[in-house]
Amino acid sequence: MTTTISGELTRPGLGGGFRDLRQSSFLLKLLVRKELKVRYRGSVLGLLWSYVKPGVQFVVFYVALGVFMGLERSARNPDGLSNYAVYLFSGIVLINFFSEALGNSARSIVNNGNLIKKIYLPRELFPVASVWVSAVHFFPQLVVLVIGCLFAGWHPDMFQLLAAVGGFAIVGFLATGLGLLFGAANVYFRDSENLVDMLLMVATWASPVMYSWTMVQAKLGPVFFAIYQANPITVGVELFHYAFWYPTTDGSAAMPPNLFSLWLPIGLVISLVVLVLGQLTFRRLEGRFAQEL
């Protein structure tokens, strides 16, 4: 929404999709800041809470799952995963990011209905701002994860760090694409919200967060395992394992075959396709947002 040269007639209300986002980066920043301010308003610890919560979560995992349930590798449990708490947490932070990003962006259009009904602005801003807010919340969890990793003797190389960035990007694109899709659909059918909740529940278990990928390969045939692997979230989680957990182990654990040569590109392409489809659907549906809300 920049000042057009007077002398030029334009059609109001026809958005330029992601092109508008670059012009409205200031508004995007304010929307993200608004969300964060509103969320931590009136709490003494403020943003510190987002460090405390994952920190406690990590310790609980370590004690309950690693020590009590004995999922940690030990003399009595040679099949267990070493540093199980790190393994678990590195997957969970990514799933948390995905859940929050998709859950909030799917609701963002309906939640901002009052504004969308009255003032024209690029509506993509709302789902995209939700994803950004989730990225901000992801950061403290990452800090806790890194601290946990360092205690476990983490010594990553450059390539492993890049793998983390790649995993984050794949999941971020997927969340944005699905967020646009479900955010727009939610205006017409409020069932979409429930669909998203269900999807998120499945997503946690459809990736090797709690268990290891070898268990899946043993149970599924090669065809179903390939389908399992093509899930961008699975790829993201495995990349996170490779970046955070693998460098804390003795290196004897196996990474999924062809993770970098095959599954990384496939995950990335699927995420980007979802992003493009989400954006196209969004643009198709947004013309009627104001009257349907």
Partner 1 sequence: MASAIEVSNVSKEFVLRHTRSIKEAVVWLVKGRKGDLSKKFHALKDVSLMVETGETVALLGLNGSGKSTLLKHISGVMLPDSGSVYTRGRVAGLIEVGAGFHPDLSGRDNVYLNGAILGMTEKQINERFDAIVEFSEIGEFIDTEVKFYSSGMYLRLAFSVAVHTDPEVFLIDEILAVGDEPFQRKCIAKIQELAEKGKTLVVVSHDLDLVSRICARGVLLEHGNVMFDGPISEAVTRLRN
The neighbouring-strand residues paired with 72 are: 81
By residue count, the chain amounts to 293
Q: Work out whether 47 is an interface residue with partner 1 (CB under 8 A).
A: no
Q: Which is nearer to partner 1, 123 or 241 (CB)?
A: 123
Q: Work out whether 115 is an interface residue with partner 1 (CB under 8 A).
A: yes
Q: Which is nearer to partner 1, 118 or 219 (CB)?
A: 118
Which of 44, 75, 119, 158: binder of partner 1 (CB under 8 A)? 119
Cα–Cα distance list, 87 to 92, 247, 257, 264 (Å): 9, 11, 18, 19
Distance between CA atoms of 210 and 92, rounded to whole angstroms? 8
- Give residue for tokens 């040679």: 78
Half-sphere exposure for 35 (CA within 13 Å, toward CB): 24
The neighbouring-strand residues paired with 81 are: 72
Task: Return the range that interacts with partner 1 (CB under 8 A); candidates 97-105, 131-139, 186-194, 268-276.
Answer: 186-194
Of residues 142, 127, 226, the one with CA closest to residue 186: 127
Q: Which is nearer to partner 1, 189 or 224 (CB)?
A: 189
Which of 3, 44, 76, 221: binder of partner 1 (CB under 8 A)? 3
Which residues in 4-33 contact partner 1 (CB under 8 A)? 4, 6-14, 24, 26-27, 30-31
Name the minimum Å distance from CB 178 to partner 1: 18
Distance between CA atoms of 177 and 204, rounded to whole angstroms? 18
Q: Which residues bind partner 1 (CB under 8 A)?
A: 1, 3-4, 6-14, 24, 26-27, 30-31, 34, 37-38, 41, 114-121, 188-191, 287-288, 290-292
